[in-house]
Amino acid sequence: MELATLAPLLVVVLFGALAAGLWVGFALIAVGLVAMVLASSAPVGMVFATKVWGGLTVWDLTALPMFIWMGEILVRSRLSADMFAGLAPFTARLPGRLLHVNVMGCALFAAVSGSSAATTATIGRMSVPELTRRGYDPRMVIGTLAGSGTFGFLIPPSIILIVYGAATEQSIARLFLAGVLPGLMLAALFSGYIMLWSRLNRARMPEAEPPTDRGTAIRAALRLLPVVGLIVAVIGSIYAGVASPTEAAVIGVTGALILAAITGGMSWATFTQALRAATVTTCMIAFILAGAAFLTVAMGYTGIPRQLAAWIAEMGLSQYALLAALTVFFIVMGMFLDGISIVVLTVSIILPMVMQAGIDPIWFGIFLVLVVEMSQITPPVGFNLFVLQKITGQDIFRIARHALPFFGLLVLAVAILSVFPQIALWLPGTMLNR
């Protein structure tokens, strides 16, 4: 079958399967089966069994369930309350005051959970009622939380970076380190916007909090030490080269269990709930990865990725033009699919043309995650919006309007990262040069 006919047919099969309610992993398998039958005489059953087994028996993927379990344990601990109480005294004097707790709290929790939805839910359950009670503008409370919750995708240990690394055979340790500085840059952009907004909208800010004495500030700082210590143990062990991502994940789970036990958030019931939730999430991602592995080899048989890469090369697009086109493409995809599905669905087709254009695959992973973060706050399928809808009871489109300025800041972050790629590549380079 001609590629001009086959490619649209596969798109129709994919979206037809998704519209029919088929799980994403099985929808990818269905597309792969159609592609293999129509474009190849290879034995479909043998190819399917080989690629699915090979796609799931990747050693680096063993970090995935461990980091997911670590996040599930901490979601059920008192960590969010400790972080709110610990951060509040240090943000009370900044322009925007306690609105910064959403940004800083999400950044800290993202560094120990790896999940955007878990970050939004955990911080939101504590900060939304508290900030609303203190008189902060509900639009900014919800907007800052929706935007900052996306940190869970970027700041390591990111689940989606593990998926990208496994799908593209890139170093997960390098991807983790590449996400650190862009994550801090994004947090700085969000905090800068809060400061500017608070200066321009003084009438919508509550009265200043009473000054905090030194003893209270020290006690608050002590409440942050456990989570900071866990972050240093996980990321620091990878950077120092003393642990692989999988070994660091074990360190993280052990630390999370200890923290939960110390704070009184661990019982046999919560332990089994965390383990069950981590198992369900891991199995969901495993189905998607299995489907993606089969679809990748099926696309190879069709020749679509090679033809697409050649077509892009013939167009003579600059790197910036290509990245701008991909940004728009992923934003549109994000309106209908979750982040992990977007990555596994597109990376096998897009990565060859990206590398053809001379773009570093590690840098592209961070770029991709930044753009996919936008899908978390774009309706109709924005997971952070669903989480906040459950917390606040507000309409999902109203929440999306509150998050719109932070969507713009994500676009700005993508532009900055494109102009200054060393923001992502410098830290991995220092690890390799030691």
Break the chain into its structural domains and give their ranges.
3-432
What tokens does 105 get?
Answer: 């709290």
What tokens does 160 get?
Answer: 């989606």
- pLDDT one-digit tens code per residue, 185-196: 999 999 999 999
Q: What pLDDT, on a 0 to 100 scale, did the predictor assign at position 31? A: 86
Q: What pLDDT, on a 0 to 100 scale, did the predictor assign at position 218? A: 77
What tokens does 379 get?
Answer: 């309706």
Q: What pLDDT, on a 0 to 100 scale, did the predictor assign at position 229? A: 86
Walk along the chain (434 residues) and give the pLDDT tens digit of each residue: 566 788 788 888 888 887 888 787 788 888 888 888 888 778 888 888 888 887 777 776 788 788 888 878 877 777 766 777 777 777 877 888 888 988 988 888 888 777 777 788 778 877 888 888 888 898 999 999 999 988 888 888 888 888 888 888 888 889 999 999 999 999 999 999 999 999 998 888 887 776 666 777 777 777 778 888 888 888 888 877 788 888 888 888 898 888 888 877 678 888 888 889 888 888 887 887 788 778 878 877 777 766 766 676 677 778 888 888 888 888 877 776 677 777 877 787 788 878 878 889 999 999 999 988 887 788 766 778 878 887 888 888 888 899 999 999 999 999 999 999 999 999 888 865 55
Residue from 289, 12, 253 nearest 169 by CA: 289
- Contact predicate 309/354, CB 8 Å: no
Measured in whole angstroms, how far is the alpha carbon of residue 41 from the centre of its chain?
Answer: 38
What tokens does 389 get?
Answer: 């809808």
Omega into 245 within 30° of 0, i.e. cis? no
Measured in whole angstroms, how far is the alpha carbon of residue 248 from the centre of its chain?
Answer: 19
Rounded distance between C-alpha atoms, residue 40 and residue 22, angstroms: 25
Q: What pLDDT, on a 0 to 100 scale, did the predictor assign at position 422? A: 94
User: How far lies 410's CA from each of 6, 137, 415, in Å?
Assistant: 35, 22, 9
* CB neighbour list of residue 354: distance below 8 Å, 6 or more residues apart: 322, 326, 361, 364
Per DSSP, the three-state class of 393 is coil
R_g (Cα) of the chain, nearest Å: 22
Q: Phi/psi zone of residue 267: left (φ > 0), alpha (ψ -120 to 50 degrees), beta?
A: beta
What tokens does 107 get?
Answer: 């950044």
The DSSP annotation for 212-245 comes to: PPHHHHHHHHHHHHHHHHHHHHHHHHHHHTSS-H
User: How far lies 345's CA from each of 25, 253, 379, 381, 432, in Å?
Assistant: 10, 30, 20, 16, 30
The number of beta carbons lying within 10 Å of the beta carbon of residue 298 is 29
Please measure the distance between the N-terminal and C-terminal CA atoms of the chain and give it in whole angstroms.
52
What tokens does 254 get?
Answer: 């052990």
Task: Look at the block and give the residue holding tokens 């669905």.
Answer: 345
- Contact predicate 294/48, CB 8 Å: yes
Q: What pLDDT, on a 0 to 100 scale, did the predictor assign at position 3? A: 66
Per DSSP, the three-state class of 125 is helix
Q: What pLDDT, on a 0 to 100 scale, did the predictor assign at position 80? A: 64
Rounded distance between C-alpha atoms, residue 333 and residue 328, angstroms: 9
Rounded distance between C-alpha atoms, residue 417 and residue 414, angstroms: 5
Rounded distance between C-alpha atoms, residue 376 and residue 398, angstroms: 15
Q: What pLDDT, on a 0 to 100 scale, did the predictor assign at position 259? A: 82
User: How far lies 266's CA from each of 124, 125, 261, in Å?
Assistant: 21, 18, 5
pTM as predicted: 0.80
